[in-house]
Amino acid sequence: MAASDAREPLPQFPRDFLWGVSTSAHQIEGAVDERGPSVWDAFTAVPGRVKDGTTAAVACDHYHRYREDVALVGELGAGAYRFSVSWPRVLPGGAGEVNTAGLDFYDRLVDELCAAGVSPVPTLFHWDTPLALDGDGEGGGGWLRRDTAERFAEYAAVVAGRIGDRAKKWITLNEPAEHTLLGHALGQHAPGKQLMFDALPVAHHQLLAHGLAVRALRAAGVTDIGIANSHGPTWPASASPEDVQAADFYDVLLNRLFADPLILGRYPDFIGQLLSATTGDVEADLKVITEPIDWYGINFYQPTKVGAPLPAAAGPTEFSGLTLPPELPFSVREIEGRAVTDFGWPVVPESLTELLTGFRDRYGDRLPPLVITENGCSYEGLDDQRRIDYLDGHVRAVHRALAEGVDVRGYFVWSLMDNFEWAEGYRQRFGLVHVDYETLERTPKASYAWLREALRAQRA
């Protein structure tokens, strides 16, 4: 008997708990000729940047097949659909003239979702910066420039002005940590900059953009706003002072650098000192960054075991499909004895409970309600029993956190369907729905059927 056949039903969540699925514009929309270019278009045009040599020019062609995809969300029984708005589709130049056809697309998408009884949850930025903003100016282009944050707030106002009457729950940014680290420090995502710690202004300017966008959304009448940050527990490789210090440093970069200013109104000490030397009046900016939000989104995939740097002779290390240079002040180690996904990520559901209770303990009364804005896994096959096992374990982990008093309001699966997985191309499949990239046919997987039944049981 398969594991799922013998499994107990999921525990009952509160009646108002929000269940949803997630996607992002660049990964599914296609229709590249019907929008302005983004940094990802330029990045994927360079041979060797994407492991299978592909681009997202067509992707899942969601731009033309959105009605079919919304029907899949409705049939699943999800209460919400988290999608991202393509900044270069709305403002091809990053600012200035609006592409009316691009706004019209999101207008139709939101109407279709509302007609299907699904709440639209737009994310304003999921890494696809308009290429026009990324030209090298003084101090660099794109998110290295402070005025990109101001352009982002203007863009937020344009989108909210069109769909804010129907879309009630909004996300400003998705995973600024990854966009900073992978896109600007290590150069393994777009825009491909290899600045190492000189990329810190990118983090600050994204957070500033978040605060300015919150103000713009409030001015447009939006009353339910959050952000989607990626987080995971950091485990020292041993109890040695060297490993503990390295793990603390990693935890600051990937967790506290983005959570502390939003929740506590301050950066971790040494980060604040570094930023003050490069970005001007950080204290004044923090007043904007800490604009009140209604909930805090967490994207969760795995914990990370971290130790002191390995000897230089060991060379670069591989982690989650990335190459980490040996000069970093930490090294990422294997979590042994755990099953891994097709991406090589360890499956540790209980670490999600650890993360959520840890947030509660660290931030106390300052912590807004939490929403799991992404959680999922990459596995091949239509009979994706391992994805069912993964989701079942992580949903139970959320319920355990609820039982321990953590205020968690929702859970979004990543992803509705297979898609363009950034530098991996189409090699990794995170979807509840299989996409044939030749024919673009959608086929629900076993995990889709499992989740549909689980959501029916929750409603019952």
E strand segments, 295-339: 296-299, 304-307, 317-319, 322-324, 331-333
Per DSSP bridges, beta strands 317-319 and 234-236 are: unpaired
SS3 state at 146: coil
175 is catalytic: yes
Query: H or E stretch including 444?
Result: strand 442-444
- CA within 13 Å, CB half, 421: 23
350 is catalytic: no
Per DSSP bridges, beta strands 119-125 and 224-230 are: unpaired
Which is nearest to 124 in space by CA: 216, 261, 205, 61?
Answer: 216
What is the widest separation between alpha-carbon atoms in the chain? 63
User: 29, 175, 354, 421: which one is catalytic?
Assistant: 175
Q: What Å distances lie between residue 146 and 150, 278, 280, 285, 413, CA to CA?
A: 7, 11, 10, 11, 33
Q: Got the DSSP string for 183-245?
A: IIIS-SSTT----GGGGHHHHHHHHHHHHHHHHHHHHTT--EEEEEEE---EEESSSSHHHHH
User: 86 preceded by cis ω (within 30°)?
Assistant: no
Q: How far apart are CA 62 and CA 305, in angstroms?
A: 37
User: 29, 112, 354, 374: which one is catalytic?
Assistant: 374
Are 307 and 331 a contacting pair, CB within 8 Å? yes
Per DSSP bridges, beta strands 442-444 and 433-435 are: antiparallel
Catalytic positions: 175, 374
